[in-house]
Structure 1
Amino acid sequence: MTNSIKLGLKENWKQFTVLVIINAFVGGMVGLERSIFPQFAELEFGVATTSAILSFIIAFGITKAIANYFTGRLANRFGRKNLLIFGWIIALPIPFVLIYANHWNWVVFANILLGISQGFTWSSTVVMKIDLVGEKNRGLAMGLNEFAGYFAVGLVAFLTGYIADNYGITPYPFYLGIGIAIIGLLVSIFLVKDTRVFMHKEHTTNKTEQLTNVFVETSFKNKTLSSITQAGLVNNLNDGMIWGLLPMVLLSLNYSTENIGVIAAIYPTVWGLGQLFTGKMADHYSKKAMLFWGMLLQGIAILLIPYSTTFFELAMISALLGLGTAIVYPTFLAAIADDTAPTQRAESIGVFRLWRDLGYAIGAIISGITSDVFGIEYAILLIGCITILSSLIIKIRMPKHIQA
């Protein structure tokens, strides 16, 4: 069976394209909340403290992280397609819960469902694309995957901000989610084929040494894998802060919901579009250098936020933050794939994504507590410093990366 299988982006472009489209719908589910949730929390439920508002990000981050881990563990056993479909089934009730919620706990519950759904759907598309393309174009594959997902996050964040500004915070913005979930599920059922056979094909020729303990080495022991993992955690730690605190900063500066939506959307849109280029770069340039400079650029951009007030300044910072994230995001996954054997790759990526998405929860907790005690400005500055520290860990600890 594996003799008839050919690895490569060109050889599998039809199935690859279907998976790119599906990941755009996966990203769209996150975009529903990106620009309107602080107003949604305060206007609909009277939730005003920063830490309480950020509770929905904490719920999302923890559940997505756990789902990522189990997707990696279960992908070889039950199949990538089955986990993808299961993730979309979990997504179906989310917009309805948000529309009809009469207590903030229901919103937190919706984000638990969203975290589980995102873990299964996004992780499945990542692993399936890596299965299809083989060694040659991993960076490009991950760039296209993450472009589709995060461009959709930005687009839907803009649309929900626009809809909320013109028609109200609820229910109309969440109608988008109903369509996204239904289409994503149907396309996954009828057009996606499982890719485990491609993984077995690569395994017959791949010479990468097996890890003794995938969790321990990806998390702590292997200098390459653990350096990537800590940077992934910090990347999403600062993303969780931006998700929760940037709209609050803009509200305090009296920006309209529509303008908040524009600024909030620039970051994931540049992040998404940039990966069309940075993913391919990761196939040709030093992954270590890309990770260092990307994390450093993020940290500098975050440190500038408290000292900026004009629309142009904040839009530029949002763009710089998106560029820094675009440089590292596909590079994380391509570098993990390079340093793991095909049969262990799904699990190692699952471990990486476990820690990376725990960053959402850790970032929200740190941001919420620091903001409530010292003020939003100090929370932002702290996260910026942590991000710069992460770039230095990459610089000092990670060995020079050998291209695949």
Structure 2
Amino acid sequence: MKEEGMVHLLALTVFIAMVGVGIIAPIIPIYAEKLGATGLWIGFIYAGFAISRAIFMPLIGELSDRRGRKFFITIGLLLYSIISLGYVYSTTVVELASVRFISGLGSAMVTPVAFAYAAEIAPLRGEGRVLGEVGMALSVGIGIGVFLGGVLSDRFGIAVPFYTMGTLSCLTLILVIWSFPSEENPAFRSHVGGGRVNLGHILGYDLVKGVSAFRFVNSFSIGAIMSFLPIFATRLDITPTGIGILLSVNIMLAGILQPYFGRFADRINRVWLIFSGSILTTIALLLIPYTGSFRGLLLLNLLMGAGGAIAVPASLAMMADVGRDDGMGALMGIYNAAMSMGMATGPIISGIIMDIMGIQEVFTLAGMISLIGSLYFLRRVG
């Protein structure tokens, strides 16, 4: 298969898998509250998924540099397919948090490995375009999933999105088994390194520190939005369908615009793309507590989506530059681990803030952390 065709296949795989992941996002906080979860427990439930990803992604990324990509993507999708039933049969907050943790392991085997594969087959100075396409598939998939999750929950009940997640994961698994080159195929092996990488050495680079810091604070903000914007919105009498729209437009706009800003990242200064996109996200977060309507929240979510579209492809391209010499799977594992650490700490800290200070302060805190991280990134890399 030609490399361009492989990029499209990777994008399709990521898209279908992420629709399945996104479809449960708008209902998890509501489902958790029905099981008796406090704000802190809602944070832990969201964080369990991200903590699992943060633990396993660097290791899986490094192993995929030596073992091959298809193996890990296949196992991860199989795990997704099975664990979807765990959500349906969870009867306590602890069970729900445990299911989320196991789901994170499945995700750790799919997303960073797919991005590593895409980065390896990208041409030099074409990383932004290729990773932007796969990033678009990820974001649009999650965005469509989030919207469908709200609609399906409204129309057919809260269990239907979980069954849909399992079905979509099975379909993606079949696609990977039948369409991806095998581990022994030279077309696959030509892109997979065979040596051992030094994670400690890689983590010492200022560029890796700076980009990882950006991804951490960016994901901290996403974690706060995904886990607590539904609670904030329900207090404004916004329906689950409306919540699904709010979350999906943020993610989908970021995804749709990523290929375009990915091309910019191949031609202009990547540092300033990342910084400017991060500042847009910061502004939107700080304005949420002062917004009391669906339209206002919609506008701010669009602003956050634009910020992500500007910054994320450039950050991926910068990491891919290092990954060509030091192991693409390892670099994408570090990048995605930073994302997962943000997604883990964001909900937990936000849950504590909600319980102590109120829901509005969740978004103020996220905005301040986003600002600090943006300035740290500029100091390290700029």
- Does the TM-score normalized on the shorter chain lie above 0.5? yes
- The Cα of 1:351 is off from its aligned counterpart by 1.9
Q: Following the alignment from structure 1 to structure 2, what is the Cα–Cα distance between the partners of residues 140 and 87?
A: 26
User: Quick check: 1:26–1:118 contact (8 Å CA) kept in 2?
Assistant: no
Alignment map for 1:158-177 (pairs within 5 Å): 158-169=147-158, 171-177=159-165
Amino acid at match of 1:18: L
* Candidates 180, 184, 190, aligned match of 1:197: 190
Matched, 1:112 2:105: no
After superposing on structure 2, the runs of 4+ consecutive aligned residues of structure 1 that deviate more than 6 Å are: none
Alignment-derived partner of residue 170 in structure 2:
182
Q: Following the alignment from structure 1 to structure 2, what is the Cα–Cα distance between the partners of residues 41 and 99?
A: 12
Alignment-derived partner of residue 281 in structure 1:
264
Matched, 1:67 2:52: no
- Residues 293 and 349 of structure 1, relative CA distance in 2, 3 Å threshold: same
Matched, 1:33 2:24: yes
- Residues 198 and 73 of structure 1, relative CA distance in 2, 3 Å threshold: closer
Alignment map for 1:216-365 (pairs within 5 Å): 216-218=201-203, 221-365=204-348
Q: Following the alignment from structure 1 to structure 2, what is the Cα–Cα distance between the partners of residues 295 and 279?
A: 15
Q: Following the alignment from structure 1 to structure 2, what is the Cα–Cα distance between the partners of residues 304 and 285?
A: 30
Q: Following the alignment from structure 1 to structure 2, what is the Cα–Cα distance between the partners of residues 232 and 332?
A: 8
User: Quick check: 2:222–2:343 contact (8 Å CA) kept in 1?
Assistant: yes
Alignment-derived partner of residue 10 in structure 2:
19
Give the TM-score normalised by the residue count of structure 2: 0.94
Alignment-derived partner of residue 155 in structure 1:
144
Matched, 1:52 2:41: yes
Q: Following the alignment from structure 1 to structure 2, what is the Cα–Cα distance between the partners of residues 216 and 237?
A: 26
The Cα offsets for residues 43-86 of structure 1, whole Å up to 9 and x where unpaired, read as 3x132x11111211110011011221112110122111111111
The Cα offsets for residues 305-333 of structure 1, whole Å up to 9 and x where unpaired, read as 00011221110100111111111222221
Alignment-derived partner of residue 95 in structure 1:
84
Q: Give me the CA root mean square deviation.
A: 2.0
1:35 partner SS: coil
Q: Following the alignment from structure 1 to structure 2, what is the Cα–Cα distance between the partners of residues 217 and 76?
A: 15
- Where do 5+ consecutive residues of structure 1 fail to align? 6-10, 204-209, 400-404
User: Quick check: 2:41–2:93 contact (8 Å CA) kept in 1?
Assistant: no
User: Quick check: 1:76–1:196 contact (8 Å CA) kept in 2?
Assistant: no
Alignment-derived partner of residue 214 in structure 1:
199
Alignment-derived partner of residue 206 in structure 1:
none
Q: Following the alignment from structure 1 to structure 2, what is the Cα–Cα distance between the partners of residues 369 and 122?
A: 29
Percent of aligned pairs with the same amino acid:
25
User: Quick check: 1:240–1:361 contact (8 Å CA) kept in 2?
Assistant: yes
User: Quick check: 1:215–1:351 contact (8 Å CA) kept in 2?
Assistant: no
Amino acid at match of 2:115: V
- Where do 5+ consecutive residues of structure 2 fail to align? none
- Residues 200 and 104 of structure 1, relative CA distance in 2, 3 Å threshold: closer
- Between the two proteins, the alignment pairs up a number of residues equal to 377
The Cα offsets for residues 185-208 of structure 1, whole Å up to 9 and x where unpaired, read as 11111101253313559x9xxxxx
Matched, 1:372 2:351: no
Q: Following the alignment from structure 1 to structure 2, what is the Cα–Cα distance between the partners of residues 101 and 199?
A: 39
User: Quick check: 2:130–2:259 contact (8 Å CA) kept in 1?
Assistant: no
